[in-house]
């Protein structure tokens, strides 16, 4: 490949504000020439080394391979006078909230891959009625058209973010919690219905569970999307692989047409999700109550009541399907990754899993099935802390659109120049916040709800996993509740192990996923007695008696001795409890 003459011999950077977007890219014209290579090498060894390291691996590996030596900010200089700043400072929020950071030209690839989705859009909103400066020179027609288009896009994304908060906010998730709990219990029932020796595709079960919860949240009704699960997995994997490539992001920053070319496979994968989006649209458009899908349709200028089945398949409706598919994917993909990573965490740590189960017995003596609200109990707290230690998202990437002077938590001042890239190292930041977050949870008491700690004003900035500022995750209440409610019941009711045995590695990327063979062997856990019954009650004695006296090869004398040693008679004051057969499923 050769860089265009306008760019050579400058090295492509994460941000290239001097290169305006272009609509056309000629792939045949790009070749690496000796002159271009000489220009790269003249830029300096360390800078070229940084550039090659950044471009030869994933963003996740860049962070993992940049040692954490206690520095709040690590600066990597690149050719062309730009730099990448890796932020690990405890006062990261003050930088994250700066409107001088934005999704700059380095996000062209993401925007081509994900379409016009809110989660890759600029957030420097332009007010619709913002007056022009009195002395501003008039713009030519072409430039004015571009400005008007930008304003429309920014207003659209501002409205979309507002809509997401309206349907995925704390109050809305609290109201849906009983229904979400029903879906979680039904999903666990479905897993337990698998034949005992069958390899269970847990990732697929989790996707179908999240499809059910996400579809109801977006449409207001139950929608069966299970036929799309395999297509969804393949498409999202292709898209994540594209945007997780630093060299593609770097080259895509130079030219919009080039970004479109590099994202062509991701764009095709996104189109494969349109059938799923049509199912969502078809379900939502018939609802009398407002819902997110109807809002998206209206945002694109369509009258929801007038959309016909033929129109759903028309070319004009493709951008609507793009937005529906990507907003749905945003609610599902990272949550499913988080759930699989946390399951892997507990499977790899049997002692920690056993402690969690013992605590679940105390916190939910009648089982988790009927639980509709999650309070700050020891078991839910342990699960939430496991969430924080197994982040699926590695980095929040931003570009400086103006110079920024930033003082980190160590008192060091940094100049972040326009055009520099800023990578917030979310796993490292979250690890630094883990101790204070644990203390906050323990001091809050059991009367607090898990939701209380997802509010930025109440958690003191201790949850970098959701980021901060204008792009703080609007779906965090839905994601945490659906993940926690399902995993508490699954871990309480099921014995889990990997079907192939051993451990499963984690693949680190834009979104971390389990590698290898993550299929599982699942068995129902049985208990000898109901947890609401005290130790030594008659029901427990009867069940232990039945177990011991029915054991093959065990003499009456041995059974009597073992029963006496294992379970002394309860005191006279012990409350009576009803007899129940053995075994008692959870």
Digit-coded pLDDT (tens) for 251-267: 777 777 888 888 889 88
Q: Give residue 531's pLDDT.
A: 45
The predicted-structure confidence for 111-127, as pLDDT tens digits, reads as follows 777 776 655 555 544 33
pLDDT digits (tens, 9 = 90+) for 50-86: 666 666 566 677 777 777 778 899 888 876 677 888 8
pLDDT at position 469 is 65
Instruction: State CA 516 to chain mean position distance.
Output: 21
Mean pLDDT, range 548-566, rounded to an integer: 68
Q: Count Cα neighbours of 420 within 13 Å in the Cβ-side half-sphere.
A: 24
Contact 363, 355 (CB under 8 A): no
* Mean pLDDT (whole number) for 374-388: 93
Q: Which domains does the chain have, with CATH numbers?
A: 50-123+142-521 (1.10.630.10)
Q: What is the pTM of this model?
A: 0.76
Per-residue burial over 154-185, b = 16 or more CB atoms within 10 Å of its CB, e = otherwise: bebbbbbbebbeebbebeebeebbeebbebbb
For residue 550, name the pLDDT band (cuts at 50, 70, 90). Answer: low
**Rounded distance between C-alpha atoms, residue 577 and residue 540, angstroms:** 9
Secondary structure element (H or E) that encloses residue 172, with its range:
helix 170-192
- The more confidently predicted of residues 8 and 480 is 480
pLDDT mean over 510-538:
71
- Weakest-pLDDT range from 18-22, 343-347, 525-529, 558-562: 18-22
Q: Name the more confident of 155 and 302.
A: 302
Q: Which contacts of 299-304 are long-range, i.e. CB under 8 A and separated by 24 or more positions?
A: 299/156, 299/159, 299/160, 299/163, 299/323
pLDDT at 215 over 50: yes
Res. 129 pLDDT band, cuts 50 70 90: very low
From the list 14, 20, 32, 6, the residue with the least C-alpha distance to 80 is 14
Instruction: State the average pLDDT for the chain.
Output: 77
Give the integer Cα–Cα distance in Å for 566 and 217.
50
| 84: β partners | 76, 421
pLDDT at residue 437 tops 80: yes
List the single range of 92-106, 148-162, 393-407, 512-526 with lowest mean pLDDT: 148-162
pLDDT band of residue 390 (cuts 50, 70, 90) is: very high
Quote the strand ranges of 137-215, DSSP E: none
Say yes or no to pLDDT of 554 above 70. no
């Amino acid at each position: 490949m050769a860089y265009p003459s306008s760019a050579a011999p400058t090295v492509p950077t994460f941000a290239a504000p001097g290169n305006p977007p272009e609509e056309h890219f000629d792939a045949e014209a790009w070749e690496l020439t000796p002159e271009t290579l000489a220009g790269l090498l003249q830029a300096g060894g360390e800078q070229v080394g940084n550039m090659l390291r950044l471009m030869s691996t994933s963003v996740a590996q860049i962070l993992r391979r940049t040692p954490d030596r206690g520095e709040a900010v690590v600066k990597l200089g690149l050719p062309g006078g730009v730099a990448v700043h890796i932020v690990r400072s405890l006062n990261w929020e003050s930088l994250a909230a700066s409107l001088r950071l934005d999704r700059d030209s380095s996000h062209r690839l993401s925007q081509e891959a994900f379409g016009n989705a809110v989660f890759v859009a600029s957030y420097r909103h332009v007010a619709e009625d913002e007056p022009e400066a009195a002395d501003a020179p008039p713009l030519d027609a072409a430039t004015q058209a571009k400005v008007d288009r930008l304003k429309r896009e920014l207003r659209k994304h501002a409205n979309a973010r507002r809509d997401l908060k309206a349907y995925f906010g704390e109050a809305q998730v609290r109201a849906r919690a009983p229904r979400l709990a029903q879906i979680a219990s039904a999903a666990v029932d479905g897993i337990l219905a698998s034949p005992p020796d069958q390899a269970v595709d847990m990732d697929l079960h989790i996707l179908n569970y999240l499809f059910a919860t996400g579809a109801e949240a977006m449409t207001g009704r139950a929608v069966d999307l299970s036929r799309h699960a395999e297509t969804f997995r393949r498409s999202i994997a292709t898209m994540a692989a594209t945007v997780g490539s630093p060299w593609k992001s770097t080259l895509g920053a130079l030219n919009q047409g080039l970004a479109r070319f590099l994202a062509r496979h991701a764009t095709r994968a996104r189109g494969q999700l349109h059938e799923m989006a049509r199912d969502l649209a078809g379900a939502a458009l018939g609802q009398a109550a407002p819902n997110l899908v109807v809002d998206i349709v209206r945002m694109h200028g369509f009258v929801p009541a007038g959309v016909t089945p033929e129109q759903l398949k028309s070319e004009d409706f493709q951008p609507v399907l793009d937005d529906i598919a990507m907003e749905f994917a945003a609610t599902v993909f990272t949550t499913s990754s988080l759930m699989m990573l946390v399951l892997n965490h507990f499977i790899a740590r049997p002692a920690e899993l056993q402690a969690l189960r013992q605590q679940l017995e105390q916190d939910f003596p009648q089982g988790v099935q009927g639980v509709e609200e999650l309070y700050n109990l020891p078991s839910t707290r342990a699960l939430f802390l496991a969430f924080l230690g197994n982040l699926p998202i590695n980095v929040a990437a931003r570009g400086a659109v103006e110079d920024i002077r930033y003082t980190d938590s160590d008192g060091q001042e940094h100049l972040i120049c326009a055009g520099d890239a800023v990578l917030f190292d979310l796993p490292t930041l979250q690890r630094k916040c883990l101790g204070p977050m644990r203390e906050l949870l323990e001091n809050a008491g059991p009367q607090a709800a898990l939701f209380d700690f997802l509010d930025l004003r109440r958690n003191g900035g201790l949850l970098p996993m959701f980021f901060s500022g204008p792009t703080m995750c609007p779906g965090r209440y839905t994601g945490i509740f659906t993940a926690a409610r399902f995993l508490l019941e699954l871990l309480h009711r099921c014995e889990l192990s990997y079907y192939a045995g051993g451990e499963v590695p984690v693949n680190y990327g834009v979104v971390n996923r389990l590698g290898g063979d993550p299929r599982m062997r699942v068995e129902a856990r049985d208990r000898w007695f109901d947890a609401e019954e005290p130790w030594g009650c008659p029901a427990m004695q009867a069940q232990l008696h039945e177990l011991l006296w029915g054991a093959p090869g065990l003499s009456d004398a041995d059974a009597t001795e073992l029963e006496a040693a294992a379970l002394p008679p309860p005191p006279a004051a012990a409350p009576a409890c009803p007899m129940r057969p053995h075994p008692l499923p959870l």
